[in-house]
Structure 1
Amino acid sequence: MTNYAALLRGINVGGSRKLPMADLRALLTGLGYDGVRTHLQSGQAFFTTGDGDEESLAAGLARAVEAHFGFRVDVIVRDHAYLRAVAEACPFPAAGLEARQLHVTYFSAPAGPERFAEIDPAAHLPEEFRLGDRCLYLYVPDGLGRSKLAEALSRPRNTKGLIATSRNWNTVAKLVELTAGG
Structure 2
Amino acid sequence: MTITYAVLLRGINVGGRRKVPMAELRELLTGLGHGDVRTYLNSGNAVFSSTETDEEGLASGIEEAIESHFGFGVPCLVRGGPYLRAVADACPFPTAELEAKQLHVTYYSGRVDPERFAAIDPEARLPEEFRLGDRALYLYAPDGLGRSRLAEELARPALNKGIIGTSRNWNTVVKLVEMTGAADPATG
User: Are the equivalent residues in 1 in contact too, given 2:82–2:182 (CA < 8 A)?
Assistant: no
User: Are the equivalent residues in 2 in contact too, given 1:8–1:74 (CA < 8 A)?
Assistant: yes
What is the RMSD computed on CA atoms of the aligned residues? 1.0
Instruction: Quote the Cα distance in structure 1 between the aligned partners of 2:182 and 2:26.
Output: 17
User: Are the equivalent residues in 1 in contact too, given 2:100–2:169 (CA < 8 A)?
Assistant: yes
Aligned to 1:51: 52
Q: Deviation of residue 146 (structure 1)?
A: 1.3
Deviation per residue, 1:25-52 (Å, 9 max, x gap): 0000000001000000000010000124
Change (3 A) 1:181 1:26: farther
Q: Deviation of residue 98 (structure 1)?
A: 0.4
Aligned to 1:22: 23
| Secondary structure, counterpart of 2:167 in structure 1 | strand
In the superposition, the TM-score normalised over structure 1's length comes to: 0.98
| Secondary structure, counterpart of 2:138 in structure 1 | strand
Aligned to 1:147: 148
Instruction: Quote the Cα distance in structure 1 between the aligned partners of 2:111 and 2:11.
Output: 21
Q: Deviation of residue 76 (structure 1)?
A: 0.3
Can you give the 5+ residue segments of structure 1 that lack an aligned partner in the other structure?
Answer: none
Can you give the 5+ residue segments of structure 2 that lack an aligned partner in the other structure?
Answer: 184-188
Q: Percent identity?
A: 66
In the superposition, the TM-score normalised over structure 2's length comes to: 0.95
Aligned to 2:186: none
Alignment of 1:98-177 (within 5 A): 98-177=99-178
1:66 is aligned to 2:63: no
Alignment of 1:71-110 (within 5 A): 71-110=72-111
Q: Deviation of residue 181 (structure 1)?
A: 7.0
User: Are the equivalent residues in 1 in contact too, given 2:85–2:182 (CA < 8 A)?
Assistant: no
